[in-house]
């Protein structure tokens, strides 16, 4: 049975002190969130250690938003898996559409990042999804299949216990235009099929998150779908009340 994960990607929002205020609010209000839901937040790199410290012995796990595939080296501005781990991160985002589009990260580079994260003991949350043009051209499945095949090209069946995949249609990110639960479920079913086809039974346990304009008002229906094992929330994760509204949605 896949886990239910409620994740917040804070992107380039919230300084260290603001991040602490946000996580304090989440911790204070987490009581009504069902016990079988895992909470996961991705603060900016400069806030990870402080948020980890604050979340010690709590139900909130903390991840990094990015990593470089090399163990160390002359890569100004980058962050390594070991640096994230020492800061207390347990997860890392890889393949977010903003990294793909704005920082030109291609599938081959993402495959190296996924491998580096797994080798270091970080759980990658691998993001994929089609653009509006691709959806309108009827290419959603082809795009998703290729992102799985290439981006997860270095992953073995044994790695899957430590992998999360997030389907984030690019046209739904930050636009207020959520995929309908039917659209999301259809994509998740296809994605599940790809994982099972490639890795067999191990592919059936990988949590599949939906991301793209998730709000307290649409979370319950998305989370009620059997193939939607959680959500990856951007804008609505930046306030404790809306993040908790999503996390508690039934
Ligand atoms: P929004 O929830 O703001 O649409 O962002 C989704 C996202 O990119 C999460 O990674």
* Chain segment 68-101, per-residue pLDDT in tens: 999 999 999 999 999 999 999 999 999 999 999 9
- Within 10 angstroms of residue 134's Cβ, the number of other Cβ atoms is 18
Number of domains making up the chain: 1
Q: Which numbered atom of ligand 1 lies nearest the CA of 11? A: 10
Q: Cα(49) to centroid of ligand 1, in Å?
A: 23
User: Known catalytic residue: 96?
Assistant: yes
Instruction: Tell me how far the alpha carbon of residue 49 is from its chain's centroid.
Output: 19
From the candidates 105, 168, 185, 227, give the one annotated as an active-site residue: 168
**Could you tell me if the CB of 169 is within 6 A of ligand 1?**
no
Q: Which residues contact 41 (CB under 8 A, 6 or more apart)?
A: 7, 8, 10, 23, 26, 51, 55, 60, 61, 62, 63, 237
- Atom 5 of ligand 1, residue of closest alpha carbon: 234
Domain coverage including residue 148: 4-247
Residue 1 has pLDDT above 70, yes or no: no
Question: How much is the mean pLDDT over the chain?
Answer: 96
What is the reported pLDDT for 31?
Answer: 95
**Mean pLDDT, residues 10-39:** 97
Q: pTM of the full predicted structure? A: 0.97
**Could you tell me if the CB of 230 is within 6 A of ligand 1?**
no
- Atom 2 of ligand 1, residue of closest alpha carbon: 234
Instruction: Tell me how far the alpha carbon of residue 188 is from its chain's centroid.
Output: 14
**Could you tell me if the CB of 173 is within 6 A of ligand 1?**
yes
From 12, 212, 215, 243, the mutation candidate for ligand 1 (largest count of ligand atoms within 8 A of CB) is 212
172 pLDDT tier (thresholds 50, 70, 90) = very high
Residue 3 has pLDDT above 90, yes or no: no
User: Known catalytic residue: 168?
Assistant: yes
* Chain segment 30-53, per-residue pLDDT in tens: 999 999 999 999 999 999 999 999
**Could you tell me if the CB of 213 is within 6 A of ligand 1?**
yes
CATH of the domain at 70: 3.20.20.70
What is the reported pLDDT for 2?
Answer: 54
Q: Cα(233) to centroid of ligand 1, in Å?
A: 5
Q: Cα(166) to centroid of ligand 1, in Å?
A: 11
What is the reported pLDDT for 228?
Answer: 97
Q: Cα(99) to centroid of ligand 1, in Å?
A: 13
34-43, 120-129, 175-184, range with the lowest pLDDT: 175-184
What is the reported pLDDT for 217?
Answer: 96
What is the reported pLDDT for 231?
Answer: 98
176 pLDDT tier (thresholds 50, 70, 90) = confident
What is the reported pLDDT for 72?
Answer: 98
What is the reported pLDDT for 216?
Answer: 97
From the candidates 38, 68, 91, 96, give the one annotated as an active-site residue: 96
* Chain segment 205-239, per-residue pLDDT in tens: 999 999 999 999 999 999 999 999 999 999 999 99
Q: Which numbered atom of ligand 1 lies nearest the CA of 236? A: 2
Q: Which residues contact 182 (CB under 8 A, 6 or more apart)?
A: none
111-115, 139-143, 178-182, range with the lowest pLDDT: 178-182
54 exposure class (CB count in 10 Å sphere: 0-12, 13-18, 19+): middle
């Amino acid at each position: 049975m896949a886990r239910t994960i409620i994740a917040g990607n804070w992107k380039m929002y919230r300084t260290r002190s603001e991040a602490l205020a946000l996580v304090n609010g989440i911790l204070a209000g987490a009581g009504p969130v069902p016990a079988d839901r895992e909470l996961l937040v991705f603060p900016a790199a400069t806030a990870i250690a402080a948020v980890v410290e604050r979340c010690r012995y709590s139900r909130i796990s903390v991840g990094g938003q990015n990593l470089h595939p090399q163990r160390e080296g002359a890569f100004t501005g980058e962050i390594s898996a070991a640096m994230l781990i020492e800061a207390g991160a347990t997860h890392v985002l890889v393949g977010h559409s903003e990294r793909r589009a704005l920082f030109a990260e291609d599938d081959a580079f993402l495959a190296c990042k996924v491998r580096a994260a797994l080798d270091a003991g970080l759980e990658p949350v691998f993001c994929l999804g089609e653009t509006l043009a691709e959806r309108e051209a009827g290419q959603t499945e082809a795009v998703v299949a290729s992102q799985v095949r290439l981006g997860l090209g270095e992953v073995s069946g044994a790695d899957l216990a430590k992998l999360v995949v997030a389907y984030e249609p690019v046209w739904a990110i930050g636009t207020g235009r959520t995929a309908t639960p039917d659209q999301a479920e259809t994509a998740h079913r296809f994605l599940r099929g790809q994982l099972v086809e490639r890795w067999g039974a191990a592919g059936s346990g990988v949590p599949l998150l939906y991301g793209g304009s998730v709000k307290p008002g649409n979370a319950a229906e998305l989370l009620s779908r059997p193939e939607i094992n959680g959500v990856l929330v951007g804008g609505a994760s930046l306030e404790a009340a809306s993040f908790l509204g999503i996390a508690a949605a039934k």
